[in-house]
Each structure stands twice: as structure tokens, then as C-alpha cells.
Amino acid sequence: MPNIIDGKAHSARIRESLKEEIALFKEQTSVTPGLAVILAGDDPASYVYVRNKIKACEELGIKSFAYYLPASVSEGELLGLIDRLNSDVNVHGILVQLPLPEGLDEESIISRIDYKKDVDGIHAVNAGKLLRGADALLPCTPAGCIELIKSVTEISGKRAVVVGRSNLVGKPLAIMLLAQNATVTICHSRTRDLKEICRSAEILCVAVGRPNFITADTVKEGAVVIDVGINRVDGRLCGDVKFDEVSLKASHITPVPGGVGPMTITMLLSNTLKAARLQCGR
Ligand code: GUN
């Protein structure tokens, strides 16, 4: 039987120590880390994610500021809100929940966030710093994946394959694996011989948003498999990896739910403390 990588347990451990760090930070600086979360539109899944982020902040002693805007919000209004949050000293992190409703330009909205407050790590400055190996706010989901992989295996020297090339997950995850000295291949919808490439992976990370996309014949015996997908099929959550059969072949695998998901929010909390430290010079 493979080992299930328990993202919930890892997450709980990290949050416990973050809670202590935040309490100490408040004591030393009299500053409470603050996170602003903006949700435009009424996508039910995004609403649940945002609610969970707000709840997690409360549990750790981070002050949260939630902004629920209609899908009809204009780009000008949204940019105006970001400008106000950029100059609000009580707000150390700003997160704009994605995807944005149609008609809003993601690139111009994300680039308006002060990169020092970009706790999602997706501003071009943070993406560039990640690429160059400089200290940066890192995207939460890939950072969570790296923590989970490190908990079960040494990354250095391993063959890693990332399936998916989004700006939020696939691309930054590949760069983070490279920074850990893995030999990295990125696969995507136009990749030829995808199965064969995946079968070479000692570490296989999948973030394509397609239920059960990765089957057992796509996985190397003994691989570490990280499933970033969160798909809803017949009212039930499932990942991008066909868990029942791949779990018989992998040495370690993340479940959905309870794998990468909880780590994403944990890394957001960690980034918020990091951003507050940067802004307070502590
Ligand atoms: N939508 C799904 N995951 C994320 C995330 O990590 N950050 C943001 N901003 N939106 C998301």
C-alpha cells in the first residue's frame, strides 16, 4: 500500500507553529498582520475558497478584510479598491480570487497590486524573482506541493514532471522544483508522448483540471504523485489522478480532498506573515 500524504495533518502542524510566530510578531511590533481578499462575481467554488481563507485567518490571529463585488464591477472600480488597499497600512497582503468574471483583465488587475503585498506570488516582480532564485513571495499552491514532496522524498537529482503550465501552478511549480535541483519537464495539452514522459517521472505533479486524467499506466512504479486537481463529478470532489489505481503503483500520493488543498491556504497565511514582516522591516 502506498503512503497517503496527509495534507491536512501537515497543514495543521504548520498552522500551529505559524500561530505562535504571529502571536510573537504582534507582541514585538504591535502590528497585526492583515489580509484583504477580493472576490468578484458569484462563482460558488470561489466563494467557498474565500470563506475558508477568511476563517483560517481568524484562527491564526490575522486580521481579514473581505470584499465581495458583483460580477458587473468595472475594472476602474476594482483598480481603485486595489489602490486603496495598497496604501492601507493595516493591509499587508492582497489576494484577488481567480478566475475573474469575464470582461476584467487579469493581467492589469494583478499587476496593480503592490508586489510587496502580493501574497499569491503572481505579480510579475515576484514571478521574476522566483525565476532568478531571489527571495520572493511564492505562489501558495506550488509552495504547498514542494512542502508535501519534501516531507516524503529528497528532491535533488530526481526526475520531476509537471503536467500543466498555468501561471498560478504549473509554471511556478516547475521553477520551484528546478530550484530544488530536480530535472524538470513540463507537459501540456500539445505534448506528444505525454504518457511516456510521465512514466519517466520519479516525482509527478498534475495540475490540469481534468478529472481522472492520469491513469496507472501513466505512472512509474514507486513515483511520488502530487494531485493538484479539484474537480466536481456527480457532486463529489476528485483530482486529476485516478486515485484508486494510481495509489497501487505510487510510493506516495496526495488524496483529493485532503492533500494539496489545505496546504494552499496554509502557505497563504505564511505569506501574509512574511509580507507583514517585510513591510515592518522585522
Ligand atoms: N483560484 C484558485 N486557486 C487560487 C489561488 O491560489 N489564488 C487565487 N487568487 N485564486 C485562486
Convert the pLDDT of each residue in 42-82 to its tens digit: 999 999 999 999 999 999 999 999 999 999 999 999 999 99
Q: Which of 263, 264, 257, 232 is nearest to 243 (CA)?
A: 257
Q: What is the mean pLDDT of the chain?
A: 97
pTM of the full structure = 0.96
Predicted local confidence at residue 181, as pLDDT: 98
Average pLDDT over residues 127-136: 98
Whole-angstrom distance, CA of residue 72 vs CA of residue 74 = 6
At 163-175, the pLDDT tens digits run: 999 999 999 999 9
Q: Which CATH class is domain 140-261?
A: alpha beta
Amino acid at 189: S
Gyration radius from the chain CA atoms: 19
Tell me the catalytic residues.
53, 97, 120
Predicted local confidence at residue 2, as pLDDT: 62
97 lines ligand 1 (CB under 6 A): yes
At 4-44, the pLDDT tens digits run: 999 999 999 999 999 999 999 999 999 999 999 999 999 99
Residue 229 has pLDDT above 90, yes or no: yes
Are 139 and 120 in contact, with CB atoms under 8 Å apart? yes
Residue 1 has pLDDT above 80, yes or no: no
Average pLDDT over residues 139-152: 98
At 182-207, the pLDDT tens digits run: 999 999 999 999 999 999 999 999 99
Domain with CATH 3.40.50.10860 in the chain: 29-114
CATH superfamily placement of domain 29-114? Leucine Dehydrogenase, chain A, domain 1 (3.40.50.10860)
Q: Which residues contact 110 (CB under 8 A, 6 or more apart)?
A: 96, 118, 120, 122, 123
Predicted local confidence at residue 282, as pLDDT: 82
Task: Please name the residue whose Cα sits nearest to atom 3 of ligand 1.
Answer: 98
pLDDT band of 253, cuts 50, 70, 90 = very high
Question: Which stretch of DSSP H or E encloses residue 60?
Answer: helix 44-60
Whole-angstrom distance, CA of residue 198 vs CA of residue 33 = 41
Domain with CATH 3.40.50.720 in the chain: 140-261
Predicted local confidence at residue 73, as pLDDT: 98
Q: For a substitution probing ligand 1, which of 117, 120, 232, 263 has the most ligand atoms within 8 Å of its CB?
A: 120
Average pLDDT over residues 150-168: 98
Average pLDDT over residues 99-109: 97
pLDDT band of 157, cuts 50, 70, 90 = very high
Q: For a substitution probing ligand 1, which of 97, 112, 231, 268 has the most ligand atoms within 8 Å of its CB?
A: 97
Residue 225 CA: distances (Å) to CA of 115, 138, 214, 246: 32, 21, 10, 8
What spacing in Å lies between the alpha carbon of 53 and ligand 1's midpoint?
A: 11
